Amino acid sequence: APGRRGLQRAPPPRGGAPPRHPLPAPPPPPDPAFRERFRREARTAERITGRWTVRVLGADPEAREPWLATEYVPGPSLAETLALYGPLPEPAVRALGARLADALADLHAGGLVHRDVKPANVLLAVDGPRLIDFGIARVAGATALTATDAMIGTPGYLAPEQARAAGAGEVGPPADVFALGCVLAYVVTGERPFGTGTVAAVVYRTVHDEPELGAVPAALRPLVAACLAKDPAARPTAEAVRDALGGTGGPVGELLPPGLPALIAERSARVLDLPVPEPTAVVPPPPPRGPSRRALLAGGSAALVVTAGALAARLGGLIGGSGSGATGGTDGGVLGTTSATAGNLPTYTIGVQTDLSGPRKADGRAQERGVRLAVERFNARPDRTFGLAVKVHDDAGDPARAARTATAIGKDRAVLAVIGPTSPEVVTAAAKIYQGNSLVYANVATGVDFTVMPDLVGEPSYFEMRTQVELLLLGFSTVVIARKLPRVAVVEDRAAGHIAWAMGTSLKDSLAAAGVATTTSRHEVDAETDDFGPAARAVKASGAEGVLYAGLSPARAARCARALAAAGFTGVCGAVESVLEPDFLSGAGPVAEGWYFGTSYVDPAALATEPAKEFTAAYRARWGRAATDPVERYAAEAYDVTLAIAETMRGVAASGLAVQRGALTRRLRELTYEGVAKKYGFDTSNGFRFLHQVYVHRVEAGGKVGYLGHYEEAAEKEKKRRKETGKAP
């Protein structure tokens, strides 16, 4: 991480008598082989004094938890710099590459092999790069450094000899040169030479395929290709790479992105800014925090089960106690622009790329209206220091068109952020394009599966500002827990992939965590069939009183609803937000009545807060809606996110930094914003914080969708209904 701490050590265990509530036992000491390796390489590292490496200030290999202390560098990592500013020009790449090669030459002369050269392990100071993280104190891989058959390094940057897990003895200085070649290719093009994807796919291409270097400038391509030779003996030395890149003389700072010196200065100031004591204040407990996207990706469905279980357990406690109270447009063309009337103030543009003429045009139009209203209200503020403008593009929900539109928007340097995807396919098509242009890409209307699309986890400019899809099953489990249903069933639609299994597993475990004595049966429906009859009859035969459709397809959910009705099932039915579409309501017809849905969006017209009332009135007035008309879904969320982005711009400007794409991307990750609908913000690992924001809707007679509130509010309503009727209705 940028400006990482200089001391890499966990605090030692306290002495004395065991505490009343015992703490987790400290980790066992490292095995002797690792400790000896650490001792030997720490001594070597202390002798490394090259200009382009971070100096080691001290180490204690004999401590229970061996530690190593290094200089502190306040600059961002090369990885973060690329995320903020995009690929660097060839002169900057040559200057940085020569200095990194010089750092490797010093390491190799001292008998060290880095083994993990990558952009995240390069910090940028004003006078050039600093190579960090020599792989000495790395817990996950340290013991493996002396083991055979262990792959050491980061896929995408490791050499073929590392990828083959041939043993540490065969990994020498040429492996670092190979990694440096990967870094050079990535920094100058923004693309990894062996692509992305699963670890197995990247490793296979590294060992067997030639690198993709077509976008590397012709003057650099022969050197990069030589560094990426499969045979270690065919690669140049680090010294040769340094000399081929022009040596370490000449300027560096002016070759770096223009906003970088200001960013480094800001972080340096943070280090020097000592805390000032403040009066003691009583604050409410923080909201529950769910796992980050990275945690869900790493832990898979297990992490999802833990989160859903924790939220359901909280719900179980509440139930057990007293509770508390314009269509069309050209492909990629600008459909409409709202400009600021800010006089001589600067104007920053927010783009809306959404579906205005395709299958989700209603949701797209709601997002556009929410953004326009936010911009108009912001520009009416007398205290503003800049104005906002809007440019709207229709992608029709088509991935190919979305990609072309994103490319056009990326070239429009006036646009600093984009709001509006309506499907996972559109996100996949556009996210990398926006990332390559350092453009904020904010998503409120669709959730993606990060285990299927892992590349999105590493896209710093992609902001999914909503609860993840899988957790929305709380809309159904709320009813199960409130009514204390003894038996429930899950219809797992295999057309949804692994999410169907994850939903079923999460439901079962979260009900158990809530202390509900509920038996759960699971019934699969193959992706190749449209016949839900056998599963529906099995649900009926199981005696279940509730059933969750674990899938994402509105049309297939409608078939499931009809099959359940035909089988005589009359219990509680539920699904998640993705299903609550016109195709489900029209396809299921009258049998959709009574279905419950967990959603990420809220109905602001049903909220009692003053901000929500003010927004609802302003929205209806602005768009000619009747006083009884609902506010379209995602309009409030788009309104909130627009103002959150404006607040981020204000913070960047107040810090004396230029309001640019890269700075906005970075600062938005640090913001927590209270909107009219809900809260928005990210944790330190870039995961959306407020995963407990799940809302419940119910289909009423005539296909009308009613809003029941936050899942805890909905639980109270279900509890009250049960008391009034004497049984679950």
Those residues whose C-beta lies under 8 Å from the C-beta of residue 658, and which sit 6 or more positions away, are: 258, 259, 262, 652
Paired sense of beta strands 67-70 and 672-674, if any: unpaired
- The structure tokens 């990592």 sit at 77
d(CA 374, CA 388): 9
Q: How far, CA to CA in Å, does 350 sit from each of 20, 21, 353, 667?
A: 55, 52, 10, 16
Catalytic residue among 102, 106, 116, 398: 116
Rounded to an integer, what distance in angstroms lies between the CA atom of residue 157 and that of residue 131? 15
Q: Which two tokens stand for residue 602?
A: 């809220």
> If you write DSSP's letter for every residue of 222-285 in order, what string do you get?
HHHHHHT-SSGGGSPPHHHHHHHTT-S-S--GGGS-TTHHHHHHHHHHHHH-----------PP
The DSSP output letter for 643 is H
Sheet with 56-60, edge to edge strand ranges: 7-8, 67-70, 56-60
Q: What is the DSSP string of 15-67?
A: -SSPPSSPPPPPPPPPPHHHHHHHHHHHHHHHT---TTBPPEEEEETTSSS-E
Give the CA radius of gyration of the chain: 28
CA 22 to chain centre: 35
DSSP 682: B
CB 578 within 8 A of CB 589: no
Cβ atoms of 478 and 715 closer than 8 Å: yes
- Identity of the residue numbered 456: L
CA dist., res. 721 & res. 707, Å (int): 16
Cα angle, residue 461 at apex, residues 347 and 206 outer, rounded to 5°: 145
How do beta strands 440-443 and 387-394 pair?
A: unpaired
Between CA 174 and CA 193 the distance in angstroms is 17
Instruction: Reply yes or no on whether 629 is catalytic.
Output: no
Residues with active-site annotation: 116
